[in-house]
Structure formats: C-alpha cells, structure tokens
C-alpha cells in the first residue's frame, strides 16, 4: 500500500474552482421495462403500442431501424417516467431484435449559464417468428372443463412455495388464508387423472404474478393465493413455476389432448402492480374523491331507467380497496390490456379465455378486446363471468337477440341461471314454478341468446358452496345433478374435488370450498387421485362422473345435437339430445317416491325405439308404454332404434 499524497491547501482552492465551473450533469434517462415484452411478425393486426417505463423518458425522441417496422408516433404523458411508442409491424417485417434508441435534450447548468445537452439510451426489442404450435383451439360442447385453484390442487415443486423477495413470504397449509404451495408442476403431474376422468380442458384460476402483501380482510390476514390481483402481467407467478412452467403445462396438456382455459382479469389489478406504484397518468385508474366500492349490482347497466351515477358506481367503483379499478376508456390502458391478451395466446398457446367480473368492465372496451382476439384467433372461445339474477340480464352481456342500445359481442358466459335452476330442481318441492320446473323454464328462455351452446354450465365453482353440501350430501341428488351437467346444452365444467365428494359451505369463509386436493401435497396421508386412496363412496362418485364424461366425449349427439325438452309433469322432467344418428333420452324423477312414466307423449323423439341402453349401468332396458322410475333418480338412456 503506497502512501496517499498529502493534499495541500492550494489544491483545495483549485478543486473548488474546478467543481464550480464544471457542468452539473443532467440525470441520465433510463428504460427499465418495455411491454409487451416481445412481439411477433405476421400478426393480422400490424399496430403495436409499446409502453416504456424508466426514468425521465418524457419528451424523448425515439428511433428504430428494422426492415418492415415503422415508427408511427411517440406519446409523452403526465408521468415523465413513461413513454408510449406506436409502431407498425408490416407484413414484410422480419423476425429479429432491434434497438429502441431514445435521445433527449436536457438542460445543463454550466456556471451561471444553462445549455442544452443530448443524452441517450437504448433498449433491445425482439420480434419473434410465429410458431405452428397448437393454440387457440377453443372449447365447445364436446369438452368437459375441470376448474382448479393452482395453489390448492397439488404441490409439484416444494422449492417454489415461498420466496423471501416477495411481498408475502408465507406459505402454510395449516392456515386457510395463506398460500399452500400448489403449483403448475402439480397440475402437470396429474394429467393422467384428468384423462382418466374424461376431462378435455383445464381452467385454472389466475396464474399471473400476484406479488401482493397480506391484506387485512375482516380482521384476518389473507394472501392473494386466489390470483385475482395481478402485479406483473407478463410474469406467471414464480410460486406457481413462472412462465417456464406455464409453457410446459400447455405443451403437456396439448400432448394429452387437454386444452387450457386462462382466467383473464381486465377490470382491476393488485395494489402492488408495478404501474400502480408509479401511475403513468391520473386517469389510468377510475379515480374517486373518496374511496368508492362498486355496488356489485348489474341492474343499473341494463335498466332503461337507471341513473348515470348508479351506472358509474357499478362499473367504475372498485371491487375491493386493494384491487384498483382500471380505466379502460383510457386508450393507453385499453391497448395495454388488449395486447397482453393477444400476447398470452401467442406466447403460451392457450385455447380459451374465461373473463372475470365481466360486467364491471367498460363494455365497449370488452367488445373491442373480444373482437381483436377473435380476429387473430377465430377458433378461440371467450366466456365471461356474468353473475346476475335473470336470464335476460345474463344475455345482455353476451351475443343476444335483444334489441338494446348496447350490443355485446361476447360469445358465451358462465351460466349462473342454470346453476341456480339445477339447485332448485334438486332442492325445492315441486310446484308451478319450483323444482324441476325451474330447469325447464330457464332453458326455455334460451331464445334470448345468439348461441346458448357456447355457455358454460356448472354445479359449483370456487366462489360458491360446494355442490355436495348444497344437495344435503344426498348421493341420489348428486347423481341427478351430474347426469344433468353432462347431458344438457352448453359446455360442462366440474370444480376440482366435486368428483371425489369434496364438500363444504362458504362458512365462515370461501377458504372452506378451496381446500387442498387430498394427495396433491407432500406428506398427505390420503391420495384421492388413486382408486386405492378413495373410499367406496368416493370411487362410486368418481366412476359415475368418469362413465358419463367418457360417454359424452364419444357421443356427437351431446356435442352438436339438438335439444328437445318436455313440460315437466308430476315432478318428472324429460329431455332429449339427438342428431341424425343417435338419440339420448334423459329422464329425471325428482319425486321422493317411485313413479310411473307414460312414454306415449314422447313418441316424437322415441319414434319406433323399443329398447335403450342405460348409459351408466350399460344395461339394455325395454322402452315400454309405462316405465317405472326410482325415487330421486335420473336416467341417461341411449335409444336403440
Ligand atoms: Ca410449490
């Protein structure tokens, strides 16, 4: 170590003069993030709007040089840390990486004088070639969707259960409100289970990063294990395995003949989203003078007599205080969300979208977004969560035959009206408008939809009491419900665990209906994925679902056949699914006792058939003038011509 020279006083004088006369360098400009994180050449829509986030980007000049790519416009917005860049990716654009070069004149003070100085920075941007991987296959009536909550289904990788660098560092299976460690590898590990059951599509509750802190809800610290508070649109949560695991899941599923439905959340994001912490502009969000919650009421959106304020509260009020409500009327927000949706289909190859809280979105934006997705991917299916209380209000939010001022282009919905009706059919006493009448009446209003077969039908989901509990743990009713689900019109969806008799009401909280699938987690004492791990009753239920699901999978009359239903009489509801080659007759006796059914009334569909195969038992039974129906039983009968 050499001796440091002693600084003489004259040097101090020199240094202070030097520093005073030197330029005060302006802050460098810096790009930290560009989204979409990449794009592709050869997309139908050539326009692309990039959001650049960093430091002091406002007012920058942007240059790019790449064959076939044209810079159209650069937008400086309220927050100088952002820049929006409009590009056209022409049909002749080649895959490759180019630099976004930003330059800016900044004021520099030199002594008492201020001069201008140029500063610059650049950021690489990649245009990829599109691949021929299977994607956007759509789901339709030939499918059976299995809905699962990734955190609660199976833990295939205990090393990703928790991370010290995330806002919520906890994972604890003993706490119903904390994360339990389930992940996408856990889903991949059970592909054979889905196939065995006859499942052809998986709908996962949201998988995008939720780097949210624990939130205090009703005095309880809760994690965002449900996934509905995105914090980085372009990252799948690393506790689920990140983008790599999601890509792998889609590939493995597709190779197994199983499609993937992604849960889209356009309406809001998590309070910890990166752009919430540094808002691009004030009206990026729906701002209110004081916190305003949505009323959760659909009526003001459809009511011809509604007040403007009621409408505004429904759609612009926040869902909860920690999920900021995005202003989709802001064109930058709209582009951001819409491009992310396209990016997701192209990047991961998903087959369908389920849109969360559909009616709370700006409905014109949703039309634009749906149209953009369907233009790019014509076979893609999109269905919205429209949790409302009437058929006509439900139809308002999708393609319908109504003459109303706003026309939705949403292809389908989660059919809550039929979910209410099947539960009433199974639980109410028979009456003029009660019991199985409800199923008959609700289906009888299908004329309001442009295509009701695109609706997703279900017995329960992650937000509802579990079906088995709703029917009082009555296995007869359970089988009736399943028989209906797997033979009625629409795309059936099963909620994970319903096939192995998982039960519970949402009491005291929805965590009760989101329990871990037994056998999915290290150390589980029981493994309900295996026949040997299930009780007799659970195997009976599983085999019942499997039998009907497999039958459905192989029966085009249930995919594209017509539906004919008969006015229920004396608590017996009869309907047919049929095409030119096959007729399936479903007979539901909702009575608490055995009854006789006179079949003469159904000759229009039974025609000359004298026998039928009981699809569940494989027995051949005679179709006679009077048939004995056991109490609380549904028969699925394939007529033998
Ligand atoms: Ca894990």
Residue 187, φ and ψ in degrees, nearest 5: -70, -45
Q: What percent of the chain has pLDDT over 90?
A: 93
What does the pLDDT read at residue 114? 87
CB 39 within 8 A of CB 62: no
Across 265-363, where does the E strand assignment appear? 352-355
Please write the tens of the pLDDT for every residue from 438-492.
Answer: 999 999 999 999 999 999 999 999 999 999 999 999 999 999 999 999 999 999 9
Please write the tens of the pLDDT for every residue from 131-141.
Answer: 989 999 999 99
DSSP one-letter code for 498:
G
| CA 180 to ligand 1 centroid distance, Å | 8
What does the pLDDT read at residue 107? 85
**Beta-carbon-side half-sphere exposure of residue 480 (alpha carbons within 13 Å):** 31
Give CA angle at 566 (564, 568), nearest 5°: 145
| CA 590 to ligand 1 centroid distance, Å | 44
| CA 520 to ligand 1 centroid distance, Å | 11
| CA 151 to ligand 1 centroid distance, Å | 8
CB 408 within 8 A of CB 366: yes
What does the pLDDT read at residue 27? 67
Cα separation, 270 vs 212, in Å, equals 7
Structure tokens at 45: 């829509």
CB 443 within 8 A of CB 489: yes
Residue 521, φ and ψ in degrees, nearest 5: -125, 145
H-state helical runs in 23-125: none
- Taking the CA atoms of 275, 281, 285 and 287 in sequence, report the sign of the dihedral they define: positive
pLDDT reading at 2 higher than 80 = no
DSSP secondary structure string for all residues of 165-190: TSS-----TTSTTS-----HHHHHTT
pLDDT reading at 312 higher than 60 = yes
Cα separation, 93 vs 67, in Å, equals 6
What does the mean pLDDT of the chain come to?
95
Please write the tens of the pLDDT for every residue from 48-98.
Answer: 999 999 999 999 999 999 999 999 999 999 999 999 999 999 999 999 999
Q: What is the mean pLDDT of residues 95-102?
A: 98
pLDDT reading at 12 higher than 90 = no
| CA 197 to ligand 1 centroid distance, Å | 24
Q: Give the contacts of 577 (CB within 8 A, at least 6 positions apart).
A: 487, 489, 557, 558, 561, 562, 563, 583, 584, 586
What does the pLDDT read at residue 217? 84
Among 641, 634, 620, 639, residue whose Cα is nearest residue 486: 634
Cα separation, 39 vs 90, in Å, equals 12
Residue 176, φ and ψ in degrees, nearest 5: -65, -20
Give CA angle at 423 (417, 427), nearest 5°: 145
Query: Rounded to the nearest 10 degrees, how much is the dihedral formed by the CA atoms of 474, 476, 477, 482?
Result: 120
CB 398 within 8 A of CB 413: yes
Please write the tens of the pLDDT for every residue from 196-220.
Answer: 999 999 999 999 999 999 998 888 9
Cα separation, 477 vs 631, in Å, equals 10
Please write the tens of the pLDDT for every residue from 223-233.
Answer: 999 999 999 99
Cα separation, 165 vs 55, in Å, equals 23
Show which residues are catalytic: 356, 385
Query: What would you report as the CA-atom Rg of the chain, rounded to the nearest whole angstrom?
Result: 29
Determine the angle formed by the axes of helices 363-376 and 331-348, rounding to 10 degrees.
30
| CA 576 to ligand 1 centroid distance, Å | 45
CB 202 within 8 A of CB 258: yes
Cα separation, 539 vs 106, in Å, equals 72
| CA 209 to ligand 1 centroid distance, Å | 14
Cis peptide bond N-terminal to 36, omega within 30: yes
| CA 531 to ligand 1 centroid distance, Å | 25
The pTM (predicted TM-score) of the whole model is 0.94
Q: Give the contacts of 109 (CB within 8 A, at least 6 positions apart).
A: 23, 24
Q: What percent of the chain has pLDDT over 70?
A: 96
What does the pLDDT read at residue 28? 84
| CA 592 to ligand 1 centroid distance, Å | 46
Cα separation, 39 vs 343, in Å, equals 7
| CA 186 to ligand 1 centroid distance, Å | 8
| CA 467 to ligand 1 centroid distance, Å | 28
pLDDT reading at 286 higher than 90 = yes
């Amino acid at each position: 170590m050499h001796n440091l020279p002693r600084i003489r006083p004259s040097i101090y004088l020199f240094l202070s003069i030097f520093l005073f006369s030197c330029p005060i360098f302006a802050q460098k400009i810096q790009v930290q993030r560009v989204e979409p994180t990449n794009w592709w050449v050869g997309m139908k829509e050539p326009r692309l709007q990039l959001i650049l986030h960093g430091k002091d980007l406002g007012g920058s000049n942007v240059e790019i040089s790449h064959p076939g790519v044209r810079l159209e416009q650069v937008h400086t917005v309220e927050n100088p840390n952002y820049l929006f860049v409009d590009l056209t990716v022409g049909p002749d654009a080649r895959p490759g990486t180019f630099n976004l070069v930003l330059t800016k004149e900044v004021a520099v003070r030199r002594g008492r004088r201020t001069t201008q100085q140029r500063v610059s920075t650049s950021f690489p941007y990649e245009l990829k070639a599109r691949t021929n991987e299977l994607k956007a296959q759509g789901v339709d009536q030939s499918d059976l969707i299995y809905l699962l909550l990734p955190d609660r289904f199976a833990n295939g990788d205990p090393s990703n259960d928790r991370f010290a660098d995330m806002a919520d560092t906890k994972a604890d299976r003993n706490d119903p409100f904390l994360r339990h460690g389930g992940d996408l590898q856990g889903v991949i590990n059970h592909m054979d289970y889905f196939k065995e059951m006859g499942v052809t599509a998986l709908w996962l509750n949201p998988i995008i990063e939720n780097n949210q802190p624990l939130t205090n809800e009703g005095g309880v610290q809760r994690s965002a294990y449900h996934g509905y508070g995105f914090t980085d649109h372009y990252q799948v949560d690393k506790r689920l395995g990140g983008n790599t695991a999601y890509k792998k899941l889609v590939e493995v599923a597709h190779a197994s003949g199983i499609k993937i439905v992604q849960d889209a959340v356009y309406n809001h994001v998590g309070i910890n989203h990166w752009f919430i912490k540094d808002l691009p502009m004030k009206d990026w969000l729906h701002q209110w003078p004081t916190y305003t919650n949505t009323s959760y009421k659909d009526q003001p959106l459809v009511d011809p007599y509604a007040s403007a304020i009621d409408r505004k509260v429904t759609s612009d009020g926040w869902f909860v205080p920690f999920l900021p409500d995005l202003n989709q009327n802001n064109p930058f927000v709209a582009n951001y969300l819409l491009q992310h949706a396209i990016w997701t289909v192209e990047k991961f190859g998903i087959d369908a979208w389920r849109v969360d809280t559909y009616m709370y979105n700006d409905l014109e934006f949703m039309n634009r977004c749906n149209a953009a997705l369907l233009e790019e991917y014509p076979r893609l299916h999109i269905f919205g969560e429209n949790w409302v209380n009437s058929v006509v209000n439900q139809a308002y939010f999708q393609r319908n035959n109504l003459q109303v001022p706003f026309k939705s282009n949403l292809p389908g919905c989660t059919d809550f009206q039929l979910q209410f009706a099947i539960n009433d059919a199974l639980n109410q006493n028979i009456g003029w408008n009660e019991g199985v009448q409800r199923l008959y009446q609700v289906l009888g209003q299908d004329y309001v939809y442009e295509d009701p077969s695109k609706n997703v039908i279900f017995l329960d989901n992650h937000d509802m009491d579990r079906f088995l509990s709703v029917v009082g743990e009555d296995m007869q009713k359970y089988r009736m419900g399943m028989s209906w689900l797997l033979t009625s019109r629409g795309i059936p969806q099963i909620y994970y665990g319903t096939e192995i008799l998982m039960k519970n009401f949402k009491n005291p909280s929805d965590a009760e209906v989101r329990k871990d699938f037994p056998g999915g987690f290290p150390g589980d004492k029981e493994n309900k994925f295996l026949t040997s791990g299930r009780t007799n009753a659970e195997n009976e239920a599983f085999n019942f679902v499997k039998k009907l699901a497999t039958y459905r999978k192989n029966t085009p009359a249930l995919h594209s056949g017509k539906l004919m239903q008969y006015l229920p009489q004396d608590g017996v509801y009869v309907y047919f699914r049929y095409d030119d080659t096959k007729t399936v007759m479903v007979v539901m006796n909702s009575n608490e006792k055995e009854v006789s059914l006179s079949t003469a009334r159904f000759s229009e569909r039974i025609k000359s058939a004298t026998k039928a195969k009981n699809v569940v038992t494989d027995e051949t039974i005679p179709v006679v003038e009077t048939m004995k129906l056991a109490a609380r039983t549904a028969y699925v009968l394939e007529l033998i011509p």
